[in-house]
Structure 1
């Protein structure tokens, strides 16, 4: 896809990977709408992005019916070519220490919201003639880490949703691409103390965004971050999952402490 003059809607676009994607698609000549729950952060992000090009904003919570309606209102006026389902939330820790409210929040924002938003947006994407859905999942959807049971589950669910939908939409003029970021230097990761010694090597959000743009331009099915190390871990998890279990057993206590306060909901 050539992004020039395409209308792109990015949920969770006021910070982190979403903001970096907005910067990158604007640089390619796209028109952009970003959404976010916090109006002040959204205004600040839009102010910076407007130094590149005009940006529309929608202050909305996509985990709610009202928020999803508001999110798509601007697209209903100007059309929609690309939907980037990026908004997300996480709460790490032992499952039995995770509240029902936190579990439900992850399910709603990380899985239910993109499924329902995509469903509503499909007529607009079909009308584009060259529509695209980009689902931002997580490397944890490929190799699940302890203390992220719910998060891994919903992100894996989003990945399989995208795979199924891609096959459902073959021939309909709408493509689906799935993105698997690794640990990324974003506000969502600030409360995590897991570092390289535990396998969490953070890369800039701009690196993820650049890979997303490359994937869009090449019409790829998926973008997996983490390089050769991630590829080896994925292969090991497929061929010898007990070996991956052993690796995590050796890190378990240190990892539990490092992610105990990791929360962004």
Structure 2
């Protein structure tokens, strides 16, 4: 896919991977609209983009609500005149033991990480069909490929998003809409600020811009998946499939330290 002049909507585009992706796609000549819940953060992001020479339309909306999705769809289509690429990037996380996670936190993760992307994609499929050369990008997580302790609900919803994308890709084969799933590892974003898990626990954070560049390259190559983490992540994925008990033992050896490091990890 050639991203130049493509009309792009990125949810959760006011920070982190979403904001970095605006910079990358905008620099390649795409026309971008971003949505976000927080008015101040969104306007600050738009101002920083404009200062860097990247034009973007900001949409203040909560995509977990019907009214927020309606506003996102209407404002994006009006601003862009149609849609070629939808990036379901908005997400939230609450780590810690399952029995210490509240029902509200669980439901919020399900709504923002899974339900909202499904319903927003459904609403925008007619516009994507009109394009004739379009794509849906779902930003999942490396935890969707390797379930980690203390991320039970987050792993579940991100894995659900990944399988949603895989099924939708096959459903839309030959219809001019490509579907790609991105699996970032630990990334240096505001979402990770409350986590104290570091390199010693396997959380090697890479810049959001590196993830954004990889997603853009995946779009240009019509890739099915973009998996971050290099050879080390590939080996863990293979081990998780072929000998999961070995990973069980590895996680057991760091269990106490990991629980302490992520017990306050929350970005909802």
Q: What TM-score does the superposition give when structure 2 sets the normalisation length?
A: 0.98
d(CA) in 1 for partners of 2:103 and 2:89?
23
Q: Deviations over 1:146-182 (max 9, x none)?
A: 0000000000000000000000000111000000000
Q: Structure 1: which 4+ aligned runs deviate by more than 2 Å?
A: 74-77
Counterparts of 1:130-149 in structure 2, within 5 Å, are: 130-149=133-152
1:187 corresponding residue in structure 2: 190
Residue of 218, 228, 231 corresponding to 2:234 = 231
Give unpaired runs (5+ residues) of structure 1.
none
SS at match of 1:9: strand
2:20 corresponding residue in structure 1: 20
d(CA) in 1 for partners of 2:98 and 2:16?
26
Counterparts of 1:1-265 in structure 2, within 5 Å, are: 1-51=1-51, 52-77=53-78, 78-265=81-268
1:53, distance to aligned residue in structure 2 (A) = 2.7
Q: Deviations over 1:102-130 (max 9, x none)?
A: 00000000000000000000000010001
Q: Is the 8 A contact 2:85 2:136 kept in 1?
A: yes
d(CA) in 2 for partners of 1:76 and 1:133?
15
1:131, distance to aligned residue in structure 2 (A) = 1.0
d(CA) in 1 for partners of 2:59 and 2:12?
10
Cα RMSD of the aligned pairs, angstroms, is 0.6
Q: Is the 8 A contact 2:23 2:54 kept in 1?
A: no
1:50, distance to aligned residue in structure 2 (A) = 1.5
SS at match of 1:10: strand
SS at match of 1:50: helix
SS at match of 1:117: helix
Give unpaired runs (5+ residues) of structure 2.
none
Q: What TM-score does the superposition give when structure 1 sets the normalisation length?
A: 0.99
1:219, distance to aligned residue in structure 2 (A) = 0.5
SS at match of 1:178: strand
d(CA) in 1 for partners of 2:261 and 2:77?
44
d(CA) in 2 for partners of 1:193 and 1:144?
19
d(CA) in 2 for partners of 1:53 and 1:212?
18
1:75, distance to aligned residue in structure 2 (A) = 3.0
